[in-house]
Structure 1
Amino acid sequence: MPEPTPVLPEVLAQIHALPTSSRPLIICDVDEVILHMIAHLEDYLNARNLRFLNHQYRLTGNIGPHDTDTPLPADDVKRHLHTFFDEVSHQQEIVPGAETALKELSTDWDIVLLTNLPGGHNKPAREKLLSGLGVPFPVVTNSGPKGGAVAALSAQRAQPVVFIDDSPTNHSSVNASLPSSVQVQFIADARFRANMRQEDHIDLLTGDWQETANFIGDILR
């Protein structure tokens, strides 16, 4: 089992700037949960004669040219991800039902959006897009595994705490840092979701926001 992850100082500063509250908390990822990412990234890659080599949940080692099965070096993948976020993050499309479900849940829950952004430099564009799509909740930008940030966001909070994310790495990190949290693994893309094995610490594996809202609503009831 992974060790608990420390929270980065720059992330902790964002968390300390949030209003204090004792309400139950939903900590929700953005990419491939609220906003489509895989579909947009696939379009970006196709335009550069690149593709996903398979539908396994990773990027490094899983992106390469159309005419070969040889993956790009890790540095090239990182460079493409930076370019992708610079070019596309201000126009990503919303996953159907996300805004309605989150609005309903916000009646009883505080909601914080915890998103990994390279360098965090396009946070304002992301906040503007989300707000315009009806998802006006606080955005905290992180890098790396999210366990430390989730534990810090949850400090002094009443239980329960729900963590929604697509990444198995982030879920493992949260399970190590805050095992009392309820973990929802949400993957909008059906191909990648079908290849995901549900781990024991995952309470719900889904790609449907109505199912997610019903599941979370039942927690308080």
Structure 2
Amino acid sequence: MPEPTPVLPEVLAQIASLPASGNRLIVCDVDEVVLHLIRHLETYLHERDLVFLNHEYRLTGNIGRRDDLSVLSADHVRKHLLDFFDAISHAQDLVHGADIALNNLSENWDIVLLTNLPGGHNKPTREKLLGSLGVPYPVVTNSGPKGGAVAALAANRKGPVVFIDDSPTNHTSVQASLPSSVQIQFIADQRFRQATAPEDHIDLLTGDWQETADFISAIV
């Protein structure tokens, strides 16, 4: 088990600006959970003669050239991701049912959207898009594993904390930093979801927002 992840100062500053609350909390990722990512990224890659090499849940080491399937370096992957988010952050599609499910859950839960956004400079664009799609919850931008940020968001809350994210790395980090959390691994893309074997700390693996809402509503 990895060590608990420290929260970055710039993330802690965002968390400190949120209204104080002791309510039960849902910490929800954005990409591939609330907004589609893989379908947009696949289009971006195809336009540049690049492809996913398989449906394993990672980006570095999993993107290659279409002609010879040679693997892109980590630096090239990072550059493409920065360019991709600059190009798409204003126009990502909503995952079906995310707006309705989160709206219903917000009657009994606080909701914070915790997203890893390279550079953080697209945060206003992302907030505007989410608001226009009926997902008007606070957005906190993070970098790296999310355990420290989730633990900081959960501080001083008496009720349960639910963490929803697609990334196995983030779920492992949250397990180390806040093992009491309920962990839902949500992957909208069926191919990547079916290729994912959930770790023991995952309470639900899903790509369906109705199933997610029903599962959370049953938490006492």
**TM-score, with normalisation over the residues of structure 1?**
0.99
Aligned partner of 2:163 in structure 1 is 163
Aligned partner of 1:100 in structure 2 is 100
1:159 Cα shift? 2.3
Q: Secondary structure at the match of 1:94?
A: coil
Aligned partner of 1:179 in structure 2 is 179
Aligned-partner Cα distance in 2 for 1:91–1:113: 18
Aligned-partner Cα distance in 2 for 1:9–1:90: 27
1:131 Cα shift? 0.3
1:69 Cα shift? 2.3
Q: Secondary structure at the match of 1:39?
A: helix
**TM-score, with normalisation over the residues of structure 2?**
0.99
CA RMSD of aligned residues (A): 0.5
Q: Secondary structure at the match of 1:112?
A: strand
Q: Does 1:75 align with 2:75?
A: yes
Paired residues for 1:101-180 under 5 Å: 101-180=101-180
Q: Secondary structure at the match of 1:148?
A: helix
Q: Does 1:47 align with 2:47?
A: yes
1:80 Cα shift? 0.1
Aligned partner of 1:56 in structure 2 is 56
Aligned-partner Cα distance in 1 for 2:207–2:84: 23
Deviation per residue, 1:68-105 (Å, 9 max, x gap): 22210110000000000000011000000000000000
Aligned-partner Cα distance in 1 for 2:6–2:52: 32
Aligned-partner Cα distance in 2 for 1:68–1:150: 41
Q: Does 1:194 align with 2:194?
A: yes
Q: Secondary structure at the match of 1:219?
A: coil
Residue type at the aligned position of 1:198: P
Residue type at the aligned position of 1:180: S
Deviation per residue, 1:146-199 (Å, 9 max, x gap): 000000000001120000000000000000000000000000000000010011
Q: Secondary structure at the match of 2:213?
A: helix
Q: Secondary structure at the match of 1:119?
A: coil
Aligned-partner Cα distance in 1 for 2:120–2:56: 26
Aligned-partner Cα distance in 2 for 1:58–1:159: 32
Aligned-partner Cα distance in 2 for 1:143–1:172: 15
Q: Secondary structure at the match of 2:119?
A: helix
Residue type at the aligned position of 2:4: P
Aligned partner of 2:6 in structure 1 is 6
Q: Secondary structure at the match of 2:200?
A: coil
Aligned-partner Cα distance in 2 for 1:108–1:15: 20
Q: Where do 4+ consecutive residues of structure 1 move more than 6 Å?
A: none
Residue type at the aligned position of 2:170: N
Residue type at the aligned position of 2:143: S
Q: Which runs of 5+ in 1 are unaligned?
A: none
Q: Secondary structure at the match of 1:118?
A: coil
